[in-house]
Amino acid sequence: MPVLRLPRIYVPTFCAIRIMHFGPRGRINIIKNFSGEMSEEAYGGVMRCLLCGSCEPECAAGIKITEAIRALKMHLAQTR
């Protein structure tokens, strides 16, 4: 059974709201599954990312999280 690593204290929006869409893992999953449409809940999770970069040093996969989220936020701002 895979171990779920929850965001720790360095993830400000997840700590405040406690919904996976508001943590880096949830946001990256939204980006991976994005096909042009997304729920209001997912949209809120992405758009409320502070782009603070606190999650990047903790990412074991070395994903440029803020770069990916910034790109999606720009796309959504232009198309939605």
Question: Where does this chain bind ligand SF4 (CB under 6 A)?
Answer: 11-13, 24, 27, 49-55, 65-66, 69
**What letter represents residue 54's amino acid?**
S
CB of 1 to ligand SF4, least distance (A): 26
From CA 20, how far away is CA 18, in angstroms rounded? Answer: 7
Cβ-based nearer residue to ligand SF4, 1 or 62: 62
Nearest distance from residue 50's CB to ligand SF4, in Å? 4
Q: Which is nearer to ligand SF4, 39 or 58 (CB)?
A: 58
The nearest distance, CB 54 to ligand SF4, in angstroms, is 4
Q: How is residue 17 written in tokens?
A: 């709201």
44: burial class by Cβ within 10 Å (0-12, 13-18, 19+)?
middle
Q: Give dist(CA 28, CA 32) in Å, integer.
A: 6
